[in-house]
Amino acid sequence: WKIAHNSLLTNKFRMKLGLNNSSSCDICTTGIENKLHVLRDCPFAGAVWKQLLGQREDVQFFTANLLAWLLRNLLKSGFMWEDWSTLFAVALDNL
């Protein structure tokens, strides 16, 4: 919901608004905290996805841009296995 309504407040966005002094991720401190970093590219988020994907890890999962990544995983329920789109959405909401 927050992604669709452009209301996911990242440090990059907060800095742009003058609400934060740094655009770095507070969790890993190594990357710029944008939407894709929060949801996939932060080592913390990446560990969650790797755990969920298990042996089914797909190269495109970690390389697609934000829109392609979301559409691929939300619209193709059988992409990884049955009910993947539901699991993906729940995981996104909890990151």
pLDDT tens sequence across 61-88: 999 999 999 998 888 755 667 788 889 9
**Average pLDDT along the chain:** 87
Q: Of 37, 69, 38, 34, which Cα lies nearest the Cα of 53?
A: 69
In a domain, 64, yes or no: yes
Residue 39 contacts residue 94 (beta carbons within 8 Å): no
Percent of the chain residues topping a pLDDT of 70: 91
How many domains, the chain? 1
In a domain, 5, yes or no: no
Residue 57 contacts residue 50 (beta carbons within 8 Å): yes
In a domain, 41, yes or no: yes
- Domain span at residue 71 reads 11-94
Over the Cα atoms of the chain, what is R_g? Answer: 14
What type of residue is 75?
A: L
In a domain, 57, yes or no: yes
pLDDT band with cut points at 50, 70 and 90 for residue 55: confident
In a domain, 4, yes or no: no
> How many CB atoms within 10 Å of residue 74?
15
Rounded Cα distance between 91 and 52, Å, is 9
